[in-house]
Structure 1
Amino acid sequence: MADAAVPSPDRQSAGRRSADRLLAVQVLRALAALMVVVHHAQYDAGALAGRLGLAFAPSHLLPWLSGVDIFFVISGFVMVHASRPLFGTAGAWSIFLSRRIVRIVPLYWGVTTLYLAVAIVLPQVLNSGWPSLWQIVASYLFIPAMRADGAVQPIYSLGWTLNFEMFFYLVFAAAIALPRRHAVLAVSLGLALLVASRAFVVWPLPVAYWSDPIVLEFVLGMGVAMIRETGLRLGGVARAALVIGGFGLLHLDLSAADGTALPQFIGYGGPAAMLVAAAVLGRPNQRPPAVERALVAMGDASYALYLLHPFAIRALREVFARSPLGGWLGPWGFVAACLVAASLLALAVYQWLERPVHQYLRARLTSRRSAGP
């Protein structure tokens, strides 16, 4: 451990309460990230099967990419929950944004730089040609920009979610000086009005991108946080019903493009909100089982898992295609191997890179605030 000193009893109790409060959220983060890995691994499994002349039928048990919707709802919840001491205080916007930048930017910039470095050596990994200078700058600044192939995505395409996240953080920071209820209401109304304006205004980029109804999933998460603030706690049966209902609705895939699809923020965001509610409206579990503790560790590394899993998948695809493993294990063995390899990579990066960098930068921010102007 980085800190071998034994904390004081008060510090131990406070840390335990904090961990218990968000334990299930970390489990849900892990599940959401693993869903995204399954989605992308299946795509490469299909390509691998084609190269090896094998049959492969992807799983439609869940809309696997809806793990992103779960992440967005969690983000809305966490911003309200973790910002309780900041609401209504002077300078809160600066503290809030600096913390989010320290949490999000280093790993994403590192992965984006790694992707560019790989693209220089292996330009065939770029599906849309070499990006322009503006596309590179916009990617680092979380500004939606159009790529050469017409897609509005950063050069490292997984960053599309972070373009929404950073926009939400900016809107949240603009309202955080208000009391909590007023701030949540202001952010919710602001995002709802922006989405509604699409019916009357043809926005240019990047506003057109940020006005996508998916931003309302942040509002759903904030709503769950406000419900929790009322003191409501559910028993095990009610929480289990929310979990079963949430995954059941996702299984039905009500946002599937079949002509009767619900908007994504309802079809996927609604079930995601049910899952987040089940995670946060329970009572603390002082002695979680080993499986839950393992998923909590995976939840801690979920950001690294989300950003880095394509590297593990693409590397494994070549290993399976060029070795007997592809024939021995088949496409679904490849998917399972991707889950394991991506998880191990994420845990290693989190333990030895992401967490130390985050702790260092947070300490620097704290020391600067303590020193004053």
Structure 2
Amino acid sequence: MQPIYSIQVLRALAAFMVAIHHVQPDAAALAERAGLSFTRSDLLPWMAGVDIFFVVSGFIMVHASQDLLGRAGASRLFLKRRLARIVPLYWAMTTLFLLVGLAVPALLNSGVPSLTQILGSYLFWPTVSTQGFVQPVYSLGWTLNYEMLFYVLFAAGLALPLRWTLPVVAIVLAVLVAAESLAGPLQLPFGFWGQPIVLEFAAGMGIAILRRKGLRLRGAVRVPVAAAGVAVLIAAAHVPGADGPWSSVLWRGGAAVLLMLAAACGREGIVTPKPVKVLATVGDASYALYLVHPFVIRGMREVALRIGLHAPALYIPLALAGAVLAALLVYRFFEKPATRLARRWLGS
């Protein structure tokens, strides 16, 4: 299937936003060690990169599965493809995190995980951490617990008659959220699965349906839609209470929907500029960037401490550039080969 370069650029942006969020505490720690001042940037709600990822994921599941809709054995094939895509790298990063925790516990920001939490992490099952949060051992994996829920629901929907697949998936997500909102807090895992953020998957599916039905935005409309998405993101960083469960979906999720509309519903047949293709390459490695960047950021902080590089203005761009470079290498030499191997092993 022909790649949509603008969506890959959006994925790169989303992963980079999360990296910016995580690099700032380390930059603050360096500045404090040297007695320097540091003011974090709150220009955007940087963790809104996750909201963008979820809307993109909802879109991609429909767009990339058009050959599976209504096909015999679609559920099993879809789930095998998704497992081959996300499991190898996530399990590798989780294992690396555990090994680092055993070797140098001081580098981690969490206590010693329980066996239940470790097993839940590898199985994408919501469990409570030693700090009292519902998150896996490698905390970034909380988003993948939601992704796995969506994959399972989507796979189940593929077993239904074609006209019911997408409506049923959206309805189940809505029921989970309604149950948690009206009758909650529910016990795990339903209390975790019922958070409003899962509605962003349904929003992404809706955009995929609009594109499939022929929605295309001309430049005169597409640019203002994208600009509106950016404006909503900026506003979300400064509106009090915009980070609550429902308000974040309205603000951050709404911005993600606007950005996704602009990215996914552009006119076809237009020559893609080379800079866009370069950014799309980072988008290809966005999953690796999301999972790898904390290791690079923390590792470069330790290096910076040892060489006396305490200036945040130098550390931040170096750490972010290092994270992107590491992600590209991991994508090229581990993620792609591991995915191919997993697909071959699973027969997908």
Q: How many residues align?
A: 346
Following TM superposition, by how much is the alpha carbon of 1:128 offset from its aligned partner in structure 2, in angstroms?
3.2
The answer to whether structure 1 residue 356 and structure 2 residue 340 are counterparts is no
C-alpha distance in 1 between matches for 2:150 and 2:243: 29
SS of corresponding position for 2:32: helix
Partner letter of residue 352 of structure 1? F
Code of the residue aligned with 2:144 in structure 1: it is L
CA distance change for structure 1 residues 256 and 68 in 2, over 3 Å: closer, same or farther? farther
Structure 2 residue aligned with 1:303: 287
- C-alpha offsets along residues 263-317 of structure 1, whole Å, 9 cap, x if unaligned? 2211111110111110110123553222111111100000000000001100111
Is residue 131 from structure 1 mapped to residue 113 from structure 2 by the alignment?
Answer: yes
Quick check: 1:228–1:281 contact (8 Å CA) kept in 2? yes
Deviations 1:234-264 (A, max 9, x none): 1012110111000100000178554896622
Q: Are positions 1:187 and 2:181 aligned together?
A: no
| CA apart distance, 1:362 | 2.4
Match of 1:240?
223
Q: SS at the partner of 1:146? A: coil
Shift in Å, 1:182:
2.1
| Structure 1 residue 322 displacement after superposition | 2.1
Call closer, same or farther: CA 1:254–1:311 in 2, change over 3 Å: closer
Q: Deviations over 1:147-167 (max 9, x none)?
A: 122111101000000000001
SS class of match (2:47): helix
* Closer/same/farther in 2, CA of residues 128 and 41 from structure 1, 3 Å limit: closer
1:23 deviation in Å? Answer: 1.2
The TM-score normalised by the length of structure 1 is 0.89
User: Once the 2 structures are TM-superposed, how far is the Cα of residue 202 of structure 1 from its aligned partner?
Assistant: 3.7
Provide the alpha-carbon RMSD of the alignment: 1.8
1:227 equivalenced with 2:210 (yes/no): yes
Paired with 1:182 and 1:116, the residues of 2 have a C-alpha distance of 42
TM-score (norm 2): 0.95
Q: Distance in 2 between matches of 1:352 and 1:201?
A: 45
- Are residues 309 and 333 of structure 1, via their aligned partners in 2, closer, same or farther at CA, if it must alter by over 3 Å? same
Look up the SS of the partner of 1:325 in the other structure: coil
Deviations 1:55-97 (A, max 9, x none): 1111111111100100000000000111111122222110010
Deviates more, 1:341-350 or 1:288-297: 288-297
Q: Which has the larger radius of gyration?
A: 1
| Aligned counterpart in structure 2 of residue 288 of structure 1, from 248, 258, 272 | 272
**Where does residue 275 of structure 1 map in the other structure?**
259
Deviations 1:311-361 (A, max 9, x none): 1100111222222432xxx21321111110000000001011111111233
List per-residue Cα deviations over 1:161-196 (Å, max 9, x = no partner): 000000111111111123444211111111111101
Of 314, 320, 323, 2:304 maps to 320
Instruction: Report the residue type matching 2:198 in the other structure.
Output: V
After TM superposition, the structure 1 stretch with the greater mean CA deviation from structure 2, 249-258 or 29-38, is 249-258
Task: Write out aligned runs for 1:338-353 (5 A).
Answer: 338-353=319-334
Instruction: Give distance in 2, aligned partners of 1:121 and 1:363.
Output: 34
Alignment gaps of 5+ in structure 1: 1-14
SS at match of 1:128: coil
| Matching residue's letter, 1:218 | F
1:135/1:281 Cα in 2 relative to 1: closer, same or farther (>3 Å)? same
What is the distance in 2 between the residues matched to 1:158 and 1:256? 25
8 Å contact from structure 1 (residues 313, 342) kept in 2: yes
223-232 vs 281-290, which moves further: 281-290
Separation in 2, partners of 1:71, 1:245:
18
Partner in structure 2 of residue 101 of structure 1: 83
Asked whether the equivalents of residues 6 and 263 of structure 2 are also in contact (C-alpha less than 8 Å), the reply is: yes
Which amino acid in structure 2 is aligned with residue 190 of structure 1? V
Say yes or no: does 1:207 pair with 2:194: no
> Contact 1:254 / 1:267 at 8 angstroms: preserved in 2?
no
Distance 1:363 1:356, change over 3 A: same
The separation in 1 between residues aligned to 2:340 and 2:242, in whole angstroms, is 48
The 3-state SS of whatever aligns with 1:34 is helix
Q: Helix, strand or coil for the counterpart of 1:64?
A: coil
Match for residue 134 of structure 2 among 152, 169, 173:
152
Measured against aligned partners, the alpha-carbon deviations of 1:221-245 in whole angstroms (never above 9, x if no partner) come to: 0110111111111101211011100
User: Do residues 112 (structure 1) and 112 (structure 2) align?
Assistant: no
